[in-house]
Chain A
Amino acid sequence: MSSTVVILLVGSFVAASCALVGSFLVLRRLALLGDAISHAVLPGIVVAFLLTGSRAPLPMVLGAGCLGVFTVFLVEVLNRSRRLQEDASIGVVFPALFSVGVILVSSLAAQVDLDTDCVLYGDIAYAPSDVLDVGGVPIGPKALWTTGAALVVDALLVLLLYKELKVVSFDPALASSIGFSPVLVHYLLMAAVSLTVVASFESVGSILVVGMLVVPPATAYLLTERLGVMLLLAVAIGVGSSAAGYAFARWYECSIGGAMAAAAGLAFVASALASPRHGLLARYLKHRRLGARLAGHLVLLHLSGRAAEGERRGLGPRDLEARFRWGRVRTARVLGRLEAQGLIEPAAAGLRITPAGERAVEQAGTAALADRR
């Protein structure tokens, strides 16, 4: 397998598994717990390293998995003791654990083949050369196996517990009333997050993990209302970002992991701007459309009122400008649109409302009344 393929596969596995569990973190507003876990697993990894003296994946996964669940537990204990709020609990727990890890790494640097750089932004570039041996037989790059395994576990979790995770995410009260424990599901999810973080950690570093946990799901969240679609979109966005990031890093000669997370950030900005329903652009256009409709109604209402008072010669654009203080350009635009729709027509002294316009006013009035009711 060429190294490009290996890196792309590892990046995609990481992106996909992070997107699956990260979607639930984002929905449950636990995004920062993912961040905390991804930092706090470091001492677990180092200790596993020291105890076994090797970079075998299983002890590392176990060590880091313990630390991940421990972090969640500690945050919850502090939070529930009412001595600290949740955000502060997260903010004090993970830097402390991460510091322990950094100190372990730097004071044992001679024995440990880890450095703080690789902890932070990993080195997916080395993924192809770090080959896993089973009984002396090389069976392919280690990162491929660990991240692939994490993806399988996460996919199984989401497939098997889809309904449960859905209910817990959107309605925890309903979850406990129909007889399964939200706490159990919560800890299962957290264990899955820890596992994913650990599996991805060594090859891509903690920052890419955080980025992939939060950014693609948040991007997908802007694009859809359905959980299933959100999961699939998040996976696609994650995989796409990692491919794009890799291409960029090759060209710019920089950290691959960093470029992948930055690409995901770009995807977020794009969908925040251009999402068909929730994007800023769509909201701006809708706002303008509503504004234009309102302006049209106001003009019709005014003209209709004047007609009822016996004004037959119509009103000039100047009168309307003075009445609504819209400025010449906007007034002309509003009037032009109404005339094109046949709701107003030219009259002796300017414009007057047509019968169709009167009907529109009447309809808008009934609609408003119905709304109020």
Chain B
Amino acid sequence: MGISYTLENVLLGSSLLGVVAGVVGCFALLRRQSLLGDALAHAALPGVCLAFLLAGSKESLYLLAGAMATGIAGALFVLLVVRWTRVKEDAAIGIVLSVFFAVGIVLLTRIQRLPGGNQSGLDRYLFGQAATIVEEDLMVMAILGGAVLLVVALVYKELKLLCFDRAFGASLGFSMRGLEVLLTCLLVAVVVVGLQTVGVILMVAALITPAAAARQWTDRLGAMVLLAGVLGGASGAIGTILSATAPKLPPGPTIVLVSSAVLVASLLFAPRRGMLWAWLEERALRSRIRRENLLKDLYRVGERERAWDRFVPRPALMGLRGQGALEIERSAGHLVAAGLAERSGDALRLTAAGLAEAAQVVRKHRLWELYLARRLELPTDHVHRDAEAMEHALSEEAVDGIEELLGFPKEDPHGRLIPARRRP
């Protein structure tokens, strides 16, 4: 075995937390209660201190029980404040978070000033001190974490209803309020599992970041929950290993940064939802619009001069829509490469294939103009701008339909010929 006994414990502990927090975090994320987890985690601190003061020992079972008690008290407080006063949920969460944590700090600093209190090591619950995890801690964490996963598996369908359609769930006879309470208890249990690895302050990231990353990859709850568990577990393991290899890298924050990196990658690269994909799609669309506009310009110059076989010099094209030479050159390059246009010096003309393609763009434009003028009775001097946009969006089938609807017209509202349907 290459890894030491301590590292093995730590690794198991943080992966376990990652999995459990990722799974439960999904439901918190979907219910827009991400920050409730933050408040519950902070609320666990006074419990740890109180348990130490009352039991006089730092047996993790006592401390975790204390954390659970005040965590639930914090959740209850949020619930009561929102239900019974005019204070809104965000402020209620902020109040629980800061006041419970402040009470925890008061007790913590008090304990540190007690004789021998400095050795209590309670401050490891602030940021987590994974290195101090021993086998008994791991047992407690495993039992608690296993119980949480089991409960999620048992009430999975009901939780799904809670997230997506409360009213329907209630009409089926499930107690939605009871489920809310159950979910809150699950959150508290996760917080307790994570106390020793990431600590109370960064707990919210363990809950939410893997879930937010998983959300980018799928629209199905089951897949999202599984993926969040995997991403959370992997972030926990990688973060722990990183912090073990570098001397002064605390594990809690390292784990958070690893999962944040996973989130950034997911936001950028996840198929369909990723920002990179959106950007590429938009770029491709813009480039197509520019190409189609150039085709249309060449077509209209040829139409005016009654000859499409003459080369059109670049300055003449630049005048048409105020484009720069570079912009035209880029679209022209695409057209030439696709065999739709040919070059002579800086002048350009359509090939036979290009002429057919350009005619289709012009056809869409003019038919849409006519449709707006006849069917919506817009004035003819208002229809051009709208057609400029629609010519890039309409499919050929849709345009054929419009042509039929209008009774196969010959001319657009400005008296110009409408090109014919593409020959198969």
Contact = CB atoms under 8 A, between A and B. Distances in A.
Contacts of B101: 207, 261
A92 B208 contact: yes
Contacts of B86: 221-222, 278
Nearest to B270: A83
A258 B102 contact: yes
B34 A254 contact: no
Contact of B212 (A92, A210, A218, A268): A92
Nearest to B258: A99
B90 A31 contact: yes
Q: What secondary structure prevails in chain A residues at the interface with B? A: helix
A98 B201 contact: yes
Given A207-B101, A252-B106, A262-B102, A215 B95 contact: yes
Considering residues B91, B92, B248, which has the most beta carbons from chain A within 10 angstroms of its beta carbon? B91
Interface string A11-37: 000000000000000100111101100
B253 A262 contact: no
Interface string B78-106: 00010011111011111101111111111
A46 B191 CA distance: 28
Given A92-B208, A253-B113, A87 B35 contact: yes
Interface residues of A, number: 61
A237 to B, nearest CB: 13
Nearest to B256: A99
A276 to B, nearest CB: 13
B166 interface: no
A68 B84 CA distance: 33
Interface residues of B, number: 62
Contacts of A262: 99, 102-103, 106
Contact of A103 (B91, B92, B257): B257
B275 interface: yes
A246 B97 CA distance: 21
Contacts, number: 200
Contacts of B392: none
A272 B97 contact: no
Interface in A43-84: 78, 81, 83-84
A81 B264 CA distance: 13
Contacts of A81: 267, 275
A291 interface: no
A254 B250 contact: no
A57 to B, nearest CB: 24
From DSSP, what is the main secondary structure of chain B's interface residues?
helix
Nearest to B209: A92
Contact of B88 (A29, A106, A265): A29
Most buried by A among B92, B100, B205, B253: B253
A252 B260 CA distance: 40
B256 A88 contact: no
A96 B260 contact: yes
B97 A91 contact: no
B88 A255 contact: no
A8 to B, nearest CB: 18
B248 A109 contact: yes
Nearest to A78: B267
A319 interface: no
Contacts of A265: 95, 98-100, 102-103
B105 A207 contact: yes
A102 interface: yes
The residue in A99, A102, A249 that gathers the most chain B C-beta atoms within 10 A of its C-beta is: A99
Given A91-B35, A91-B204, A261 B212 contact: no
A92 B98 CA distance: 19
Contacts of A258: 102-106, 108-109
Contact of B110 (A78, A99, A252): A252
Interface in B3-43: 29, 32-35, 37-38
A342 interface: no
Interface string B191-219: 00000000001101101110110011000
Contacts of A217: 91
Q: Which of B33, B98, B126 has the largest count of A CB atoms less than 10 A from its CB?
A: B98
Nearest to B90: A31
Contact of A211 (B87, B99, B212): B99
B127 interface: yes
A106 B248 contact: yes
B249 interface: yes
A262 B103 CA distance: 6
Given A211-B99, A221-B86, A91 B250 contact: no
Interface in B32-56: 32-35, 37-38
10 contacts: A31-B88, A39-B201, A78-B267, A91-B207, A103-B250, A106-B248, A218-B87, A255-B105, A255-B106, A265-B95
Which 8 pairs of residues, A with B, have the shortest CB-CB distance? A265-B99, A261-B102, A258-B105, A95-B205, A99-B253, A211-B98, A214-B94, A91-B34
Given A103-B250, A253-B110, 17 more contacts: A31-B91, A35-B97, A81-B267, A83-B273, A92-B263, A95-B201, A98-B201, A98-B253, A102-B127, A103-B254, A207-B98, A218-B94, A258-B106, A265-B98, A272-B87, A278-B86, A280-B85
